[in-house]
Amino acid sequence: ETMPVPNHVHKETTSEIIQLLDVITKKSEFITIFYSVLEGGSEYDLFAKAILSYAHAAGKTMDILQNVVQSEFEANIGTPTSIMRGNTAASRILGLFCRQEGKQFLKKQLSPSINSIVGGEISFEIDHCKLSGDIPVQKKANLGNLLSFAECVLSTIATPESILDMPRKIKALAFHIQRLATQHSPENTMLLVGGFVMLRFINPALMTPDFYGLVQSGSLSMTDRRNLTLLCKLIQNISNQRLCNEEWMLDCNEFIEKNMHRLEEFYVHVLMDPMQETDEQEPFGDLFNVTPTEQLNPEAIDLEAFKFFHDIFIDRKSELLEAFGQDENLRESKEAMKLVELLNDYGETTPPEVNIELYYSPLCPFSRAVWLFCLETGIPVVTHKIDLLKEDQALDQEYKKFSQLSPSLQVPLLHVDGEFVLEESAAICTYLCDLFYVGNHWLPKAELESVSRIHQQLDWIQHAIQIPVLRLWEACKNPTAEALQLTRYRDFVTNLEILDKMYAMEKERCNKLPTCPYFQGNAPSLVDLFTILSLSFGQLIQGFTVNKFPTLKLAYYHFVNQYSKKYWKQINYEFEGFFKYVITATSTGSVQQIRQSVLFQQTPHTIYEMVQDPENDIFLFLASKTISTKTNAKLKRGLKKLNTEGGAQDDKAEETDEAPYVVNLDIGGEFNIRGREGTNLLLVPGKKIVQTSRMSDWEAGYLSTVIFEFETIENSQALLHFTELNCPSENSKAQEEHWLRFWKKINGVRVDTIDQTIVLKTKGPEMLFNILTDWRLLSKTLKSKMKFEENGGVHMHNKVYAKITSTVPNKRIVQDWRCTDWPEDFFGRVEQDLQGYEGGCRIRCQIHMVPYDRVKSVEKLWKSSMWKKLGGIVCTSLEQNITFLISPAQVCNILLNGTTLSSKLKSKCVATPDTGSQFIAGHLKGTVMRYDEHKRIVLCVSHKDWPNHNSLVTLTLNPVENGTEVHMYHENIPSASIKNISDMWSNDFWEKIDGILTTNIQTSCILNSTSPEILYMTLLDKNALSQIVGSDSCISPKVGGQVSLYDKVVKGGVSALELNTSITMSLRYFNWPFGLQAETCFKLDEINGGKGTVFTVQQNRVPINQMEDAAKNCEELCKQLKKFKFSKK
């Protein structure tokens, strides 16, 4: 039975393999036998690579090469010209050794010359059959090019400096070949030396310079490759001391004859040992017969070598044993019989198993790094998923065991053999690298400097990258657009810029090309692993892009799209849903949101299950516990659809048995619940459900995101906060009604919060606290009849029941509160916060969980039966954004200059910038409380309709392109006057001083299969953009260029371009106020390893009265982008 060795090797297995290799490499005939059972070129190459990997680690490279060369001579005694020219083990091993040992020399000597002809128009073609036009003229010119370049190459490699620079080990092998040739075929000595130096060393680099790294990968054209082929043919003929016999190459023979002796002289100098000081000293003697490494370090052997030999020793065992058994000489050899014995025993014993458990979260980048490492290396671990977003963990057995193992409650956590516990992600991966042999590239222990650099970098990442990433994780638990702004993570971006430079420096230290993808080579290390997972998580930040870090980007894209393509999707399966939730929740404009709160009598866990499977019998039974006896009777008769009060069964397709009903309770699972279909993005039991969703009757291309968030309130009841994002505007009303019907079916009551601010001028906080907490005193003050209960509750007019649950003297009162006509056992929560205000008191009263259809009546009840009788005024606030086409200084000069303001408003005004000065404008009268020059104005004003009541106006001014944006916050307005005050500011104030009421619009969509590069190019392509928009449209690809959209309905200019990241424009619709332009930005945030894009349209300073058209166009653009078939070029 084949012993499984995926991408790691157990330490005991490596010992067995090393024992076998030690015997195999002692005799060249053993190597030849193993080579004979291989199949095809790829296995030959792997064999050569594996033998050399072992040879380097064992310190026996030159001795093994010496043996294989000798066996090559012995095998070709009768045909010496065939030596090292066939497809033999010696040829493969020597060729690979020359490439590894001589790569830097070849790059230094040949790269400048080869790059001088790559991509140019020069041609070496001299075969008349492949020429056209004036053939003699062309052939003469091309022959001149060929011979001139050949002369250049020969001159370069044959200089004394070049010969001195040639790797000494390659010279030593040439010397060994010369010595063997002198013994076996002296007349062909230089021919055989040349066969090695040119055929195995120089010419392969000339023929395939891209493979050797001498030119940039993909830079060679067909003409370039033909030129290099002709060059190699010419030089090899010189080395072989043979004239051309092809008619079209006869013109080269003079050059060949002329340079034969030149190459012989070159070989003579190559054979000289530059370190030989006396004739008695053996040339290159210090390189041969070297004492092997006493204690071989398995880490120094490439993992691929171990895997290759393991497969050969298992899969080809019978063939190998048969080959050794058929050779009589080998049967008498002690070494051969020892090899047979070791080979026969290989794989018969299984290494001891290690019980490893990994506790991880698929949302944590460091957990995913460890999980991915185990998958890539094939290390056998038992995984336990820990839900970091779940709050109630009491019944979760996995979490219970995890909490006993981890005092810090941090993931990832490794539990080994039921005893050993390890928590830090880097420490876990390092430990696994010690426990198993997973490949030198992850942690190069055999190279002291390289492994030290890895440990140094991991320590740096832990404090420079991990700390801001953990801060980002905290922000993503309850995401808001503000918390995910790039400005909050400057340290993360700065440290990534430093890391980008560190990558470049390490590549230079390792003599790697800039195109080399990873930190120390062509395969990822632990540094790359943690860097790439951090970059992936960083894409949750708005405006973050990997494009800013070119060296890290190369590693990121190569890892995601090539190296880890097999497992990347698996480890990101749940994270992608979380990512879409965070991005959508923080980048969607309020215009496209439906928000509802719903109260249930059941627990959050029950409602969590009920939302996903609303027609499950058990959930219908639970829902029935709080409804009428009549409904219970229907349930007992088997009626599955609740027809509760107000929920008549007229919901068309979604209420019929024919409509699809497919439930799926897994992340990534697809569902279809009576016409609403979608996919589960994020499931946190009892806390959160996030789904993509669409109704079956929506136009194709539309897809919303629905978020169900569950809160546990008193008596373990569930309060559901529901949000639907990106709902099509034309379907929003119908969708609101759909959800109202749905809540009723599962016995939920939509609720809302009433937020009132009350100002009482004659009563302070202490007096009001005493009144509001003493029911008898309140009854007397309000002159209202009340019925008092022993438990502290009170009934008012048989309409209201209230009970105080907690207080903070003179500051806060909390009570349970309900109207008697509300559903049974249904309570709201009243929170009253008291603070002193202008000698009296200001109360903020929030009434939570009021049935939605009772909100107005409850507002009226509190206002008339409570606050009015207490002498209070219920107040509210007003916010407006106003854009001016003048500077902040000019705006302030209008607002705080009585003469100018009077002229604009056509009424007598008083205003100065002095703090404490009088302010009179229209119906407002008050005082200038504060003035920060050209930045902020604070006014305390009353209105003619409420002259004895003060309100506060704060005007914040920000300079913008071509003008000023003013944000006005007017607080403490009597709620009865809010509409009049809003109209007053809009019509009687801003309009008269040339201010334009504006708002901001934002919408987004996710394009999973379109990269930022492709989208950026498409948006700047006139034909493609016109096709997407549906009318003639064009965005200039240059800053300052013109923009024209929707057949010139929208015009403007390009303000800024950030390649593949953003397009910023100043735009205006033809019917907007003259001079007003909206700052419009198309943001392209990459996702999915650069293969996808989050596309966001942000429009700032859109006129409110034109907002609907602008919002519709943004929404339509996103919809059409989802439908568009993008070019993959």
Number of DSSP helices (H) and strands (E) in the chain, helices first = 39, 33
Instruction: State the virtual CA torsion across 744, 745, 748, 754 in degrees, nearest 10.
Output: -20
682 and 667 Cβ atoms separated by less than 8 Å: yes
Distances (CA, A) of 133 to 45, 126, 145, 640: 44, 13, 18, 87
pLDDT at 633: 41
Distances (CA, A) of 785 to 781, 782, 796, 798, 817: 11, 9, 6, 9, 17
Query: Read out DSSP for 356-402?
Result: EEEEE-TTSHHHHHHHHHHHHHT---EEEE--TT-S--TT-HHHHHH
Instruction: State the virtual CA torsion across 259, 264, 265, 268 in degrees, nearest 10.
Output: 160
> What CATH topology corresponds to 439-571?
Glutathione S-transferase Yfyf (Class Pi); Chain A, domain 2 (1.20.1050)
Query: Read out DSSP for 95-128?
Result: HHHHHHHHHHHHHHHHHHHHHHHTTSS------G
Q: Which of 364, 392, 367 is nearest to 476 (CA)?
A: 364
Hey, what CATH class is 752-871 in?
Answer: alpha beta
Kind plus residue range of the DSSP H or E element containing 453: helix 448-464
**Matching residue, tokens 């054979």:** 271
Q: What are the structure tokens assigned to 151, written together? A: 């002369």
Kind plus residue range of the DSSP H or E element containing 169: helix 168-184
For residue 274, which phi and psi values (nearest 5 degrees)? -65, -15
> Which are the contacts of 1001, defined by CB distance < 8 A and separation ≥ 6?
589, 591, 1097, 1098, 1099, 1102, 1107, 1110, 1111, 1114
Q: What are the structure tokens assigned to 76, written together? A: 């070709």
Show me where the domains of the chain are located.
7-60+292-350, 102-289, 353-438, 439-571, 584-747, 752-871, 876-994, 999-1123
Q: What are the structure tokens assigned to 551, written together? A: 């060296």
Q: Which CATH superfamily is domain 999-1123 in?
A: START domain (3.30.530.20)
Which CATH number is correct for 353-438, 3.30.420.40, 3.40.30.10, 1.10.10.10, 3.30.1330.10? 3.40.30.10
Q: What is the CATH number of domain 876-994?
A: 3.30.530.20
For the chain, the farthest-separated pair of C-alpha atoms sits apart, in whole angstroms, at 129
> What CATH topology corresponds to 584-747?
Alpha-D-Glucose-1,6-Bisphosphate; Chain A, domain 4 (3.30.530)
Q: Which of 169, 183, 193 is nearest to 61 (CA)?
A: 169
Q: What are the structure tokens assigned to 1006, written together? A: 């996710």
> What CATH topology corresponds to 102-289?
GTPase Activation - p120GAP; domain 1 (1.10.506)
596 and 753 Cβ atoms separated by less than 8 Å: no
Residues of the chain predicted below pLDDT 50: 1-6, 591, 626-655
pLDDT at 657: 53
- 272-314 pLDDT, tens digit per residue, is 998 888 888 888 888 876 666 666 777 677 767 777 888 888 8
Q: Which of 475, 439, 344 is nearest to 14 (CA)?
A: 439
pLDDT at 70: 85
- 32-65 pLDDT, tens digit per residue, is 888 888 877 778 888 888 888 888 888 888 888 8
Query: Read out DSSP for 882-926?
Result: EEESS-HHHHHHHHT-HHHHHHHHTS--B--SSTT-EEEETTEEE
**Topology match between the domains 439-571 and 752-871:** no
How many Cβ atoms sit within 10 Å of the Cβ of residue 544? 22
